[in-house]
Amino acid sequence: MKKAAALALALLFLAPSSALLGVATLGSTSATAACTPGSLALGPIPDSLTATTRNGETVTLNRAQLTHAATIIRVGGQTSGVGRPGVVIALMAALTESSLRMLANTGAYPESADYPNDGNGADHDSLGLFQMRPAAGWGTVAELMDSAYQARAFYGGPTGPNYPSPRGLLDIPGWQSLDPGEAAQAVEVSAYPDRYQNYQPVAEAILTALTRSASTGSGGGDAAPVVPETTRLVFPLPEGSWVRTSPFGWRTDPMTRERAFHSGSDFAAADGTPIYAVADGLVVHAEYTGTYGGLVIIEHTVAGERVASYYAHMWETGIHVAEGQTVTAGQHIGDVGSSGKSTGPHLHLEIRVGGQGGEAIDSDAWLTEHGAEGTTAGEAAPALCTAGGGA
């Protein structure tokens, strides 16, 4: 998007000296977890949905496949500790294993064809959405030909049907800090993590589409990209990893020595510190340019209002999202860098009202006003909010 490059002209990127880092007070990010109970509330199931995999393949899902996805989302919402991150992993696994189809396996279990199914599979004695094997202890044929049972078994945990073994997602220690593809692989005990990672953008698109009605509708029909109401707000850097260095507003530009308006807030952090999306949203720009540095822009709907968040100075290798991708609050979208007009590793964060190209407001104050949750490194997406109640 050329527009964003022009806009970046207005940005001033400043970083602290390391001495400043030593004396600045650690930022306090009030962890008032504003859990939205309906964050996994299902809306109407569309007749079809088309999305693109990480490898660039187009995938079109029909209503039957999306109905299974809805079951996975519903069970995830009912299972404490899963949350949207866990649901994304489950969708990635089911997309990879069965293309979200309830597969019988008449070679191993002729009776599996007696249950409602979407076709016949032939991998060992695997059955259903997650290709679970009765011989591996996942359940009986009757149990595994039930999509809700498979979803409960995949999530696992103390309330899961197989606790403690075979392990479901909640039984994998530290699953929240694993790459989602690796987490899916850990449950499926597969040798190919890349296969799962490929489906992450598709899983996220499904989750956004099926839970859309929980938000204020865009009302714009099919033309406008869907930017659903966010489920929560998250501070963009891990707690304890950053210090405030240069606030929003007028200042003397340390590079030009001239008075200039600083349209963002600067948070110094070590090179490589993960940057999280502040809210659920749609990536509208993700580009590296030598002058302005790596810049990601995400549009969100927050309290019914469209806003855009800007994250600047990532290195080229530190940009982890692409334009058009849907992200969730707390998703790791990039790493702190010092590219472009910057004198040291930091995040330059802007919030613009009305979306990309809108008027910049004080992003630091905005996060505080909206009760952004603090996030601990490795827990980029705390799965505390479930449809049932939450913390």
Q: Is 374 in the site for Zn ion (CB under 5 A)?
A: no
Q: How far apart are CA 94 and CA 98, in angstroms?
A: 6
Q: Sketch the per residue contact string, 256 through 285, with Zn ion: x for CB under 5 A, - otherwise.
A: --------x-x-------------------
Cα–Cα distance between 391 and 389 in angstroms, integer?
A: 7
- Name which of 326 and 339 has its Cβ closer to Zn ion: 339
- CB nearer to Zn ion: pick between 229 and 350: 350
Tell me the window of 18-26, 216-224, 314-322, 343-351 that interacts with Zn ion (CB under 5 A): 343-351
Q: How far is the CB of 348 from Zn ion (least distance, A)?
A: 3
Of 6-14, 29-37, 57-65, 316-324, the window that binds Zn ion (rule: CB under 5 A) is 6-14
- Distance between first and last Cα of the chain: 40
Return d(Cα 167, Cα 217) in angstroms, integer. Answer: 38
Rounded to whole angstroms, the Cα distance separating 306 from 102 reads 39
CA distances 366 to 108, 290, 381, 384, Å, are 58, 29, 20, 23
Site for Zn ion in 194-223 (CB under 5 A): none
Kindly tell me which of 138 and 310 has the beta carbon lying closer to Zn ion.
310
Residue nearest to Zn ion (CB): 348
Residue 389 Cβ, how far from Zn ion at the closest point, in Å? 39
Closest to Zn ion by CB, 125 or 350 = 350
Residue 350 near Zn ion by CB under 5 A:
no
Given the complex with Zn ion, which of 16 and 77 has the nearer CB atom? 16
Token pair listed for 84: 């949207």
d(CA 380, CA 201): 17
Helix crossing, 200-210 with 180-188: angle to 10°? 100
Cβ distance 52 to 58 under 8 Å?
yes
185 or 342: CB nearest Zn ion: 342
Q: Indicate the residue among 175 and 292 with the shorter CB distance to Zn ion.
A: 292
Among 4, 13, 203, 204, binds Zn ion (CB under 5 A): 13
Say how many residues touch Zn ion, by CB under 5 A.
4
Q: Which residues, at least 6 apart from 257, have a Cβ–Cβ distance to it below 8 Å?
A: none
Query: Residue 87: which of 226, 213, 177, 211 has the closest Cα?
Result: 211
Helix (H) / strand (E) element for 234: namely strand 234-238
Rounded to the nearest 5°, which phi and psi values hold at 379? -125, 50
Q: Is 348 in the site for Zn ion (CB under 5 A)?
A: yes
Q: Give the CA count within 13 Å in the CB-facing half-sphere of 96.
A: 29
Distance of CA 190 to the CA centre of its chain: 23
* Nearest distance, CB of residue 240 and Zn ion, angstroms: 21
Pick the closer one to Zn ion by CB: 175 or 311: 311
Q: Which residues contact 104 (CB under 8 A, 6 or more apart)?
A: 112, 113, 115, 117, 119, 120, 121, 127, 145
The region of 10-18, 42-50, 134-142, 172-180 touching Zn ion under the rule CB under 5 A is 10-18
CB of 345 to Zn ion, least distance (A): 12
Q: Of 117-125, 189-197, 345-353, 380-388, which segment contacts Zn ion by CB under 5 A?
A: 345-353
User: Least distance in Å: CB of 262 to Zn ion?
Assistant: 6
Stretch that binds Zn ion, among 141-149, 177-185, 347-355, 382-390 (CB under 5 A): 347-355
Kindly tell me which of 13 and 149 has the beta carbon lying closer to Zn ion.
Answer: 13
Q: CB of 291: closest distance to Zn ion in angstroms? A: 14
- Residue 67 dihedral angles phi and psi, to the nearest 5°: -70, -40
As measured in angstroms, the least distance from the Cβ of 358 to Zn ion is: 17
Token pair recorded at residue 205: 């698109």
Compare residues 155 and 292 and give the one whose CB is closer to Zn ion: 292
Contact residues for Zn ion (CB under 5 A)?
13, 264, 266, 348
